[in-house]
Amino acid sequence: MRIHCRELMRALLCLLIVAGCSSRQQLRVSLDAEDEFALAKKAFDERQWDRAAEGFKRLMFDHPESGLVDDAQFYLAETYLAQEEYELAIVEYRQLSRNHPRSEYADDADFSIGLAYYRRSPAFDLDQQFTEQAIEAFNVFLVRHPRSPLVAEAESKRKELRERLARKEYENGLLYLRLGHIESAQIYFEIVRDQYRDTEWRARAEKKLLEIASDSVSSSDRPAAGWSEVLDISEPRTNSYTSRNNARSIGGDWTGTVHIVWQEAREAGDIVLYREWDGVEWSESRRLSDEEERALSPALAVDVANSVHVVWERDMGDRDALAYRMRGAGGWSEVEV
């Protein structure tokens, strides 16, 4: 009889446990989506991140057809972002953007993907994978949401990140320059010049490229044994002048090629001539000014793209004018006045 009572008590205890679990389960699922969201949002506002995350996940699981699902997913991502769990936050933001592209949170989600990567972006001298991912995410945001109130902040952060990438490339160039690896340094400076035109490092890179070109020219015709012999490169039996107004009449590019212009006196009037030295021999003289004009005081400059620019004074009789020609990859341009 005692054994029978003991078994009966065990059975009653099991029933009570099952009933308690059932009532708790019924209490949980009895909350509608609005109440579930309100409780989770209250926990979120009180910075109780774990409770908030559980509430938002429960709403998404129990009420998948609710109009509050995108709200819950956005705030779930926000709880992860607040706890610096950036990868989890990015996953939720991306799911929101993909599954609810018309949600009122769509632009915030796309922006926050970039923000999460931005917060993981390290100093310029470390690996810049997260920096590049942040820039890509901000680019996507700017394309998708050109009228979002977050556009200005996204553009500002993107520029900051591009400055960081440009500085890394520039510092790499400086390192190779200090090590004496000129060609490698030049490659990095050219990357900054060509790919980061909107940064402050572009001007610095261009300056370094000009210094490299200048150093190359200054040493291209001066071997270790000393200076070369004096060469007369002007036309024979003529009077020749470089610029009379202290303008530069000789320059070099980063390949080591030397470019020179000068004024030469002829019976019909002075003309402007040009020659170049490629490190082996001089080119033939080329007349840059027109036949009928009187050309004076030529000046020359070479830019970082190795284009040659020449200007001179043109005596028009009643007035003076400036004439200009440029030689790029396609050859010499026509004279412009």
Residue 261 lies in a domain: yes
336 burial via Cβ count (<10 Å: 0-12, 13-18, 19+): exposed
Structural tokens at position 276: 């170049």
Q: For residues 137 and 321, what is the distance between their CA atoms, to the nearest angstrom?
A: 52
Rg over alpha carbons for the chain, rounded to the nearest Å, is: 37
> Which residues form the domain of 304?
240-332
Count of domains in the chain?
1
Contact 113/106 with Cβ under 8 angstroms?
no
The model carries a pTM of 0.59
Pairing of strands 258-264, 250-252: antiparallel
Within-domain flag for 276: yes
The pLDDT score that the predictor gives to residue 237 is 46
The stretches in the chain having pLDDT less than 70 are 1-30, 216-248, 254, 291-292, 304, 316-318, 337
* 139 domain residue, yes or no: no
Compute the half-sphere exposure of residue 269: CA atoms within 13 Å on the CB side of its CA: 16
Task: Give a yes or no: residue 214 inside a domain.
Answer: no
pLDDT of residue 306: 79
Looking at this protein, which amino acid is placed at residue 47? R
Residues 46, 54 contacting (CB under 8 angstroms):
no
290 lies in a domain? yes
pLDDT of residue 1: 46
Residues 91 and 164: their CA atoms lie apart, in Å, by 26
Q: Which amino acid is at 199?
A: T
Residue with tokens 């390192």: 175
Calculate the CA 251 to chain-centre distance.
31
Q: What is the pLDDT of residue 218?
A: 54
Instruction: Give the ranges where 46-181 is alpha helix by DSSP (H).
Output: 49-62, 69-82, 86-99, 106-120, 129-144, 151-179
- Give the span between the Cα atoms of 163 and 205, in whole angstroms: 13
pLDDT at 15: 54
pLDDT at 130: 97
Residue 176 counted as domain residue: no
Phi, psi of 232 (to 5 degrees): -95, 105
Nearest CA to 259 among 209, 211, 304, 300?
Answer: 300
What confidence tens digit (pLDDT) does each residue in 143-194 have? Answer: 999 999 999 999 999 999 999 999 999 999 999 999 999 999 999 999 999 9
CA-to-CA distance for 310 and 242, rounded, in angstroms?
13
Q: Which helix (H) or strand (E) holds 12?
A: helix 2-29
User: Tokens 């035109």 — which residue?
Assistant: 197
Does the residue 254 lie in any domain? Answer: yes
In a domain, 312, yes or no: yes
